[in-house]
Amino acid sequence: MGVSVVHLAPTHPLNSDTQDSWLVTAYRGGRPAVTPVWFMRQAGRSLPEYRALRVGTRMLDACLDPELASEITLQPVRRHGVDAAIFFSDIVVPLKLAGVPVDIEPGVGPVFATPVDSPGAVEALVAQHPAEALGEALAPITEAVARTVAGLRLLHGGRDPLIGFAGAPFTLAAYLVAGRPSKDQLAARAMMHRHPAAWAALLGWCAELSGRFLRAQVLAGASAVQLFDSWAGSLPAATYAAQVAPTSRATFDAVRDLVDEQGRRVPLVHFAVGAGELYGELNLDVDCVGVDWRTPLDEAARRIGGPAVQGNLDPALLGAPWPVLRDAIDEVLRRGQSAPGHVFNLGHGVPPDTDPEVLTRIVDHVHSR
């Protein structure tokens, strides 16, 4: 018996606009005429137009305002000429939509009213905020995605794909267990060994939330999805493989059945920070693996084996003199030739003090190679 699939609507960008875009081609292991480029956190604090738009609006409120989220997503496409938009959101948005009390404190990050650090706390969380109840709460997300896709069609005829975005289960769980950001994720690492059944239940719940979040974005018009794992690098490879990878795979499973008119699935991208020792475990049947700045791109591609790669310019180089930066860009492009496909990006997000003109210059240079 064949695997059941869900065909995306004929009007979906993967059927009408983006199927042959540089980005989708590279994600699917091809070599387009030009190496595609976009930047993690391109929609955000480095842009003066973003800062002006955000005055008086808290982060999570901005994420849940469809008009505002769409405009913020489109800003870097207009300014830099990047080859994709990344949906403006935050990894804790699905938790917020599920009714979990959370806020983002400036200079701190996500802060939860009560840490979920015991079996009883996990049981209460899952019972009070069932993932299947997320449905109608996703309306602001689907509206923002639809607005963004319409905006991309007006900008460049729809050629630029929108990338959907979600946080990986381990990163969500690490925030929940500690109640706030942590340098070493010790509380989460301890809980997975001290209370393995509760830990598994928490990760499974997080995976279902993130999966539903991704699926909603794709059905509304996203042409690819990226699962972002901020804290996976805190784990040994064996622990990651046994305790975490299955739920990240389950998150991707929520969108694996979505295919275009030719039967090709939505491209899946997996990115984990500080994960050089995990590269052998990060290909969870995905199309592309993001690489941070710590590992040379060709070496990472060798460890990963198979998929396209994305990355991996060191964000620290964005303030370097142009000749230094230019040579570093060329080195990344050279090393990226070792993989079936390569999408140029930073090895992490755009720092808030970055000169926007530098990003535009990088895009122009990559496109010229």
Catalytic residue selected from 17, 27, 28, 41: 41
Backbone torsions φ then ψ of 341, nearest 5 degrees: -145, 155
Check if 41 is active-site.
yes
Say which residue the tokens 């849940």 belong to: 64
Measured between alpha carbons, how far is residue 17 from residues 39, 150, 226 in Å?
21, 11, 20
Check if 335 is active-site.
no
Check if 294 is active-site.
no
Catalytic residue selected from 27, 50, 79, 90: 90
Check if 265 is active-site.
no
Average pLDDT, the chain: 96
pLDDT for 156 equals: 84
pLDDT for 271 equals: 98
pLDDT for 2 equals: 55
Model pLDDT for residues 9-51, shown as the tens digit of each residue = 999 999 999 999 999 999 999 999 999 999 999 998 899 999 9
With H, G, I as helix, E, B as strand and everything else as coil, classify residue 362: helix
Q: Please name each of the domains of the chain with its CATH number.
A: 6-92+150-165+216-368 (3.20.20.210)
Q: What is the DSSP string of 206-258?
A: HHHHHHHHHHHHHHHT-SEEEEEETTGGGS-HHHIIIIIHHHHHHHHHTTTTE
Q: Which two tokens stand for residue 127?
A: 């019972």
pLDDT for 3 equals: 67
pLDDT for 158 equals: 83
Kindly give the confidence (pLDDT) of every residue in the chain, 369 residues in length, as a single tens digit, with 9 standing for 90 and above. Answer: 456 999 999 999 999 999 999 999 999 999 999 999 999 999 988 999 999 999 999 999 999 999 999 999 999 999 999 999 999 999 999 999 999 999 999 889 999 989 999 999 999 999 999 999 899 999 999 999 999 999 999 998 889 999 999 999 999 999 999 999 988 999 999 999 999 999 999 999 999 999 999 999 999 999 999 999 999 999 999 999 999 999 999 999 999 999 999 999 999 999 999 999 999 999 999 999 999 999 999 999 999 998 999 999 999 999 999 999 999 999 999 999 999 999 999 999 999 999 999 999 999 999 999
Catalytic residue selected from 27, 175, 240, 279: 175
Peptide bond preceding 15: is omega within 30 degrees of 0, i.e. cis?
no
Q: For 110, what's the count of Cα atoms within 13 Å in the CB-facing half-sphere?
A: 28
Catalytic residue selected from 54, 153, 294, 302: 54
pLDDT for 1 equals: 44
Which of 303, 309, 319 shows the shortest CA–CA distance to 354?
Answer: 319
Answering whether pTM is above 0.85, one says: yes
Question: For strand 288-290 and strand 268-272, is the pairing parallel, antiparallel, or unpaired?
Answer: parallel
pLDDT for 183 equals: 87
How many helices, marked H, and strands, marked E, lie in the chain? Answer: 16, 11
Q: Which amino acid is at 335?
A: R
Check if 175 is active-site.
yes
Q: How far apart are CA 113 and CA 132, in angstroms?
A: 23
